[in-house]
A and B are shown apart, each in its own frame.
Chain A
Amino acid sequence: MTDMKNTDMEEINIATDVLVLGGGLTGIKAASEIAGSGYKVILVEKDAELGSKKGPELIGLKEEYKGLQDLEDKIKTDSNVEILTQASLVSAAGVTGDFTARLSKGKKVIEHNVGAIVVATDFATGSLNEKYGLSPADNVLTQSRMDELLASEADKEKLANKTVAFLVGLGQEGNPLVLERVLKSTLALQEIDGCDVYIYAGDLKVASNGLERMYKESREKGAVYFKLTEKPEIIENGKTISFFDTVARRNIEISPDLIVVEEELRADQLNERIAEILKIDVGPLGFLQNDNVHFFPVRSNRDGIFVAGSTREISGLPSAWTDVENIALEVRDLLGDGKKSVAKNKAVVNEDKCVICLTCYRCCPHGAIYWGDKKAVISPVACQGCGICASECPMDAIQIGGFSDEEMIEEVKSGVASGNGTPRILAFCCQNSAFEAGEMADIFKMQLPDGLRMIKVPCAGKIDLDYILNAFVAGADGILVMACHPGNCKSEKGNTYAQWRVNDAYRMLEEVGLEKDRLCFVGTASNMGSGFSSIVVDMEKRINELGLSPLK
Chain B
Amino acid sequence: MIVAKRKPFEEIKTMLKDYKKVLTVGCGTCVAVCLVGGEKEVGILNAELSMARKIDGNPIDLGATTLERQCDMEFLDELENVVDEYEALLSMACGAGIQFLAERYPNKPVLPAVDTTFIGANRDVGWYEEKCRSCGSCVLGWTGGICPVTMCAKGLYNGPCGGTDDGNCEIHKDQPCAWFMIYERLAAQGRLDLIMEFQPITAWQNQKPRTLVQPGYEKREEAG
By beta carbon, the residue of chain A nearest B122 is: A358
Query: Considering the chains assembled together, what is the distance between the CA atoms of A357 and B31 in angstroms?
Result: 10
A209 interfacial contact with B, CB 8 Å: no
Residues in A with CB closer than 8 Å to B56 are 513
Give the interface SS of chain B, mostly helix, strand, loop or mixed.
helix
Q: Given A394-B35, A394-B38, are A469 and B48 also a contact pair (CB < 8 Å)?
A: yes
* Contact (Cβ within 8 A) A466 B51: no
* Contact (Cβ within 8 A) B43 A466: yes
Residues in A with CB closer than 8 Å to B124 are 362
> Digit string of A418-435 for contact with B (CB within 8 Å is 1, else 0)?
000000000000000000
Residues in B with CB closer than 8 Å to A394 are 32-33, 35, 38-41
Q: Given A395-B38, A395-B40, are A551 and B29 also a contact pair (CB < 8 Å)?
A: no
Query: Considering the chains assembled together, what is the distance between the CA atoms of A180 and B182 in angstroms?
Result: 56
Min CB distance A66 to B, Å, is 51
* Contact (Cβ within 8 A) A359 B125: yes
Query: Considering the chains assembled together, what is the distance between the CA atoms of A511 and B35 in angstroms?
Result: 20
* Contact (Cβ within 8 A) A512 B55: yes
Residues in B with CB closer than 8 Å to A363 are 125
B208 interfacial contact with A, CB 8 Å: no
By beta carbon, the residue of chain A nearest B29 is: A355
A58 interfacial contact with B, CB 8 Å: no
Min CB distance B121 to A, Å, is 12
Min CB distance A390 to B, Å, is 10
> Digit string of B22-54 for contact with A (CB within 8 Å is 1, else 0)?
000000110011110011110110011011101
B193 interfacial contact with A, CB 8 Å: no
A550 interfacial contact with B, CB 8 Å: yes
A28 interfacial contact with B, CB 8 Å: no
> Digit string of A325-354 for contact with B (CB within 8 Å is 1, else 0)?
000000000000000000000000000010
> Digit string of A452-495 for contact with B (CB within 8 Å is 1, else 0)?
00000000000011100110110000000000000000000000
Interface residues on A, range: 20 to 34
By beta carbon, the residue of chain A nearest B30 is: A355
Q: Given A353-B28, A473-B50, A514-B55, are A362 and B125 also a contact pair (CB < 8 Å)?
A: yes
Residues in A with CB closer than 8 Å to B28 are 353, 355, 395
A277 interfacial contact with B, CB 8 Å: no
Query: Considering the chains assembled together, what is the distance between the CA atoms of A551 and B52 in angstroms?
Result: 9
* Contact (Cβ within 8 A) A466 B44: yes
Residues in A with CB closer than 8 Å to B52 are 511-513
Report 19 cross-chain contacts, Cβ distance below 8 Å, ordered by A residue. Answer: A353-B28, A353-B39, A357-B32, A357-B34, A394-B33, A394-B35, A394-B39, A395-B39, A395-B40, A396-B38, A396-B40, A464-B40, A472-B51, A511-B10, A511-B52, A512-B48, A513-B51, A551-B51, A551-B54
19 additional A-B residue pairs with CB within 8 Å, beyond A357-B34, A394-B41, A396-B40: A355-B32, A355-B33, A357-B35, A359-B35, A359-B125, A392-B125, A394-B32, A395-B28, A395-B39, A466-B44, A466-B47, A469-B47, A473-B47, A508-B44, A512-B9, A512-B55, A513-B56, A551-B54, A551-B55
A interface, CB within 8 angstroms of B: 353, 355, 357-359, 362-363, 392-397, 464-466, 469-470, 472-473, 508, 511-514, 550-551
